Amino acid sequence: MSQTIPQTTVTLDHPVDFARWRSATRALVGQHVPPEDIAWHVAPSGTPDTPAPAQAAPPFRIPRETMQMAADVLQSMLPDRFTLAYHLIYAHVTGTAMPPPDLARIEDAADTVRAETAHLRHDLFTLMQRGDGQEAWHATMAATTYAPESNARFMTFQLSLAPWRLALPGRRMEWTGEKLLYGQDDAAPAPIAFGSLPPPAMPLVTDLDIPRITVLPAVALAARTCRICPMARHATQTVFGEGRSDARMMFVGEQPGDKEDRAGRPFVGPAGQLFDRALLEAGIERDDTYVTNTVKHFKFRPRGTRRIHEKAGPEEIANCAPWLAAERRIIRPHVLVMLGATAASALLGRHVTIGRERSRAITLEDGATGVVTVHPSFLLRVPDDAARAREYDRFVADLKLAASLRAPVAP
């Protein structure tokens, strides 16, 4: 019987090069190239990059669960894992069936990767808590899959972006504080991109000990991977806070809106522009503050081509609470300004009526001073010009009150 000779060769940069595998798969599946016509190779250390196929192909969509299954298989050490993962996508797009033995091997491999991911994170926490007093955290770990590579981001976030090294069977990985290095034991490690690695079998924020993260950039990067609540699956992106990590004033709103969701920055839409104007009138420089939201994703309902804002519910607020708590813990503001009832209720831990709580100083448990006021979007909804002007002036007065409560800058 004659053996099929592959017509296409794809060379990957490293053994877990998910990014190049995905790019090649998208091009080749779109052209209905069967799995047996493709040879997958990993470039030896020092070999120049070989471009993956880049032919134009009709667009197609793959369910998140199917793509994650493929990513899980790529973290196994099966010698034909790239072919199996490709066949999984090919079968979905072409409507064909995989041979049952191959499908069973995929499921077994994915189960092994998920189990090792859970053990890996437990072992990592044990090693991290033990510590060795050295500048760069390092450890040696046994592994039967490539799950450690896929969890490189997890380690980096959990260690607050500090340098680390991990020795694995036949290979090693290192984060220098600026770049990720990876290689076999018999060769010098080379830089690889976090984005080239498969998404881990468990979401990055699962098992992440957020209170142990000590720097704001690590919290922000970790939050951008969050897929805990359904909002995260529909929003364009996570909208984390921005501003000074040593800000004396912190402003907290409800959630990003349509403009913020697209831009990836808080308070940049119409309410944000009004907020900026009011800050200036109150003598506050936005660049000297920290601005964020209780909820980090845009909750909306579609109406034609528009996305209509929906109020964040208790579940979304609870899911995002660790991110807000981390921002507050790291920044340690002197004054915490709560913009609207949602933010005030979340931060004070009780139901808040704006009319009853606003325009006064509130001593908070951590020693900071809280001020409750309206959300800037409320001012945009006041229909009467005279009433809107009065409410705006009152809002500015609340901001001036907050500014007066700031502790003086040390000489």
Whether residue 355 has pLDDT greater than 70: yes
* pLDDT computed for residue 133 by the predictor: 47
Whether residue 358 has pLDDT greater than 90: yes
Tokens of 51: 């471009």
**Average model confidence (pLDDT) across the chain:** 91
DSSP secondary structure string for all residues of 239-303 = ---EE-TT-SEEEEES---HHHHHHTSSS-SHHHHHHHHHHHHTT--GGGEEEEESSSS--EEEE
Whether residue 1 has pLDDT greater than 50: no
Mean pLDDT of 359-386: 96
Mean pLDDT of 256-260: 94
pLDDT band at 44 (very low <50, low <70, confident <90, very high): confident
CB 6 within 8 A of CB 38: yes
The per-residue pLDDT for range 297-323, each reduced to its tens digit, is 999 888 888 888 888 889 999 999 999
Ramachandran region, residue 204 (left: φ > 0; alpha: ψ -120 to 50; beta: rest): alpha
The per-residue pLDDT for range 131-168, each reduced to its tens digit, is 544 567 899 999 999 999 999 999 999 999 999 999 99
* pLDDT computed for residue 45 by the predictor: 59
* pLDDT computed for residue 410 by the predictor: 58
The per-residue pLDDT for range 222-246, each reduced to its tens digit, is 999 887 777 777 888 999 999 999 9
pTM value? 0.88
Range in 17-26, 230-239, 380-389 with the lowest mean pLDDT: 230-239
Mean pLDDT of 365-379: 96
* pLDDT computed for residue 113 by the predictor: 98
pLDDT band at 54 (very low <50, low <70, confident <90, very high): low
CB 402 within 8 A of CB 288: no
The per-residue pLDDT for range 174-220, each reduced to its tens digit, is 999 999 999 998 888 999 999 999 999 999 998 999 999 999 999 99
Mean pLDDT of 105-125: 94
Domain boundaries, the chain: 8-112, 210-404
* pLDDT computed for residue 56 by the predictor: 61
Q: Which of 204, 231, 181, 180 is closest to 68 using CA atoms?
A: 204
Tokens of 117: 């991911």
CB 229 within 8 A of CB 315: yes
* pLDDT computed for residue 411 by the predictor: 55
Superfamily of domain 210-404: Uracil-DNA glycosylase-like domain (3.40.470.10)
